[in-house]
Structure 1
Amino acid sequence: MPSMAATGPAEEEGLALPVDDGGGSSGGDHASFLSTFLLYIGAHELFSPQMWKAAMTEFVATALLVFCLTTSIVSCLKSNESDPKLLIPIAVFIILFLFLLVTFPLSGGFLSPIFAFIAALRGVITFTRAAVYILAQCLGSIIAFLLIKDAMSPDVAEKYSLGGCTIHGTGDTPGIGIATALVLEFACTFVVLYVGVTVVLDQKMSERLGLPMVCGMIAGSSAVAVFVSTTITGRAGYGGVGLNPARCLGPAVLRGGRLWEGHWVFWVGPFAACVAYYGFSVNLPTAPLVGAKGDIGILKMAGSCWRWRRRRRLEEKLGQNV
C-alpha cells in the first residue's frame, strides 16, 4: 500500500540537485535557481507517462465517484423516509469506501483536491502532479454532472440544484451565512484529515491496519462530517459541507446561478484546513507513547503517601521513646 511518509520529489526520482559552481554569473545564478525550482515542483513529471496514466485514473474515478454520490444523495432525499438525511452518511460511506479501495493502489486514491494538496504539502507527491490531479478531478466532476444533467428530470434538477453545493437557499429555505459555512468547511475538512490522513502518514500504522481499514477510516470520517454538517445547522437551504471542491465546481459550471454564491467557501475552507493540518502534522510525536514507570497511578500515589505518612509517625514515636 502506498505510504504518505514525507519524501522529497528529487530524492524519489533519484535526481541530483543543481550545484552552484561559484562562477558568480547572474545569468548562471538565475538558470540555477530556475532549474532548482522546476525540479522541486516536479516539472519533469510532465514528461512521465506513469503520471498521466495516474491522472487519467483520477479523472475517471472522480467522475464515477461524483456521479454515484450525487445520484445516491438525491435519491435519499427523494425517498419516502421521514428523515432521509440519516441515509446520506451511509450512502457516502459505502460509495467512498469502495472507490478508495479500488483507486488507492492505482493512483493513490486522492479523488479530491484537498487530498492531492495535502500530499503535495507533505512531499508525498510533487506540486506538478498535484496540480494535474486537481485539474483531472475538476474535469471529471464536470463530465459527471453533464451525465447527471442529461439523466435528471428538470423538476428534480431545479429542486436540488443539480445536486450541487449550496449555501443560500431560495424562498422559504434561507440557508446559512457565509461565515458559518466557511467554519463548517474548515472544521469538517480538518476532522477528515486528522482521522484519515494521520493514519496514512504513519507507515507502520497503515501497514498494520491494512488497506481496507485505512479506506474505512477515511470514508467513515467523511460520512460523519457530512452527517454533522447537514443536521447541526437545521437549515434546509444548506447542502452540507463539500469536502471535495471539484464536486462543487461541476454543477456551478453547468448550472450557475446561486451555485456561484459563496462558491469560494468550498475552496478556501478546505485548503485552509490543509495548511492548518500541515502545520499540525509536522509537529506530531514521532515515537509511540511509552508508559511511565513508577508509582504514578492515583491509587499507587495514595498508597505511597499513606505508607510514607505511617512511616513518619512511627519514626516520631520511636524518637520520643528514646
Structure 2
Amino acid sequence: MWRGALTELIATAFLVFTLTSSVIACLDSQEVDPMLLVPFVVFIIFFLFLIMTIPISGGHMNPILSFIAWLEGHATFARASIYVIAQCLGSIMGFLIMRNVMDHQTASKYFLGGCTIDSNGAASAISRKGALILEFSCTFLLLFVGVTVAFDKKRCKELGLAMVCGVVAGAMALAVFVSITVTGHAGYGGVGLNPAKCLGPALLEGGILWHGHWVFWVGPFLACIVYKGYSINLPKE
C-alpha cells in the first residue's frame, strides 16, 4: 500500500505538471482553435501515465477514482484515504514546480492552470449551478465509459492493459472535449475531473481559484455515488 501511495504522489505531481503546462501551451499557441488540441494532449498524457502506474498502484492519480474504487470494493477505505492524501500532496508539489519554472505573466493569465468558474463576474461563461451539472455529467461519463471497463476483470483480460488504458484515457479526453466545447470561454476552464488538480493551484494562488471551488469536489463525488447506484445492477464476474 505504501509503495502504491508513493507512486500516486509522484505520478500525480508529474501528471498535473505535464498536463497543465501542455494544455497552457496549446491555449497560448497561435492555432486558430487551440481548444481542439487539448483533448489529444489529455489522451496522450493520461495514456502514458496510466500504462505506467496501473500495475503498481492501480493508476488512480485522482480522488474520484480512489473514491469509486472504494465504493466498488476494489480498494479498502484505508488505501483509498491514503491515496487521496498522496494525490493532494502530489498536486501541490506539481504546481510548486510549475510556478517556479513558468513565466509569471503566463501563470497569472491562466491562474497557474487552476480550476476556475469565473473572473470576478466579468468573464463568467457559466453559473456555479451550470458548472456543477457539467462536473457531475462529465464525471459520470468518465465512470460510465472508462471505469466500467477498467473494473470488469473479464473484459480487462480480453482487451489487455494497453487497450484498457486507451479506453480510460479516451473517456477522460472525451469529457474534457465536451466541457470546453459546451462553454468555450476563458472564464471557465472546463471540467476539472480531478479535485486534487484543482486544490493545488487554489492553495498556492488563492483568490479567484476559491470561487466555487466546492463545485469541483461535490460534482464528481456526487457522480460517483450515482454511478455506484447504477453499477449495483450490472452483472458481476
- Could you say whether these structures have the same fold, taking a TM-score greater than 0.5 normalized by the shorter chain as the test? yes
Aligned counterpart for 1:255 among listed residues 205, 224, 230: 205
Q: 1:158 to 1:171 in 2, by over 3 A?
A: farther
Aligned-residue identity in percent? 60
Give the conservation status (yes or no) of the 8 Å contact 1:169–1:175.
no
- Using the alignment, how far apart are the partners of 2:225 and 2:196 within structure 1? 18
| Residues 1:89 and 2:31 are matched in the alignment | no
- Using the alignment, how far apart are the partners of 1:189 and 1:152 within structure 2? 29
SS, match of residue 82 in structure 1: coil
Question: Considering only CA atoms, is the larger Rg found in Structure 1 or Structure 2?
Answer: 1
Q: How many residues align?
A: 237
- Using the alignment, how far apart are the partners of 1:161 and 1:134 within structure 2? 23
Deviation per CA, 1:166-190: give whole Å up to 9, x if none.
0012575223100000000000000
- Using the alignment, how far apart are the partners of 2:99 and 2:120 within structure 1? 20
- One-letter code aligned to 1:209: L
Deviation per CA, 1:26-75: give whole Å up to 9, x if none.
xxxxxxxxxxxxxxxxxxxxxxxxx1111001000010111000000000
Aligned counterpart for 2:149 among listed residues 179, 182, 199: 199
- Using the alignment, how far apart are the partners of 1:133 and 1:162 within structure 2? 24
* Runs of at least 4 residues off by over 3 Å: none
2:57 is matched with: 107
- Using the alignment, how far apart are the partners of 1:254 and 1:176 within structure 2? 24
- Using the alignment, how far apart are the partners of 1:152 and 1:171 within structure 2? 27
| Residues 1:149 and 2:92 are matched in the alignment | no
- One-letter code aligned to 2:126: I
1:38 is matched with: none
Matches within 5 A, 1:1-322: 51-170=1-120, 172-286=122-236
Deviation per CA, 1:162-211: give whole Å up to 9, x if none.
00000012575223100000000000000000111111221111100000
Give the conservation status (yes or no) of the 8 Å contact 1:59–1:136.
yes
Deviation per CA, 1:75-132: give whole Å up to 9, x if none.
0011110000001000000000000000000111011000000000111111111010
Q: With structure 1 as the length reference, what TM-score do the two structures score?
A: 0.72
- Using the alignment, how far apart are the partners of 1:235 and 1:71 within structure 2? 19
SS, match of residue 207 in structure 1: helix
- Using the alignment, how far apart are the partners of 2:121 and 2:87 within structure 1? 33
Give the conservation status (yes or no) of the 8 Å contact 1:170–1:237.
no
Consecutive unaligned residues in structure 1, runs of 5 or more: 1-50, 288-322
The Cα RMSD (Å) is: 1.1
- Using the alignment, how far apart are the partners of 2:90 and 2:113 within structure 1? 15
Q: With structure 2 as the length reference, what TM-score do the two structures score?
A: 0.97
- One-letter code aligned to 1:113: P
- One-letter code aligned to 1:92: V
Give the conservation status (yes or no) of the 8 Å contact 1:60–1:140.
yes
SS, match of residue 37 in structure 2: helix
- Using the alignment, how far apart are the partners of 2:28 and 2:2 within structure 1? 39
Consecutive unaligned residues in structure 2, runs of 5 or more: none
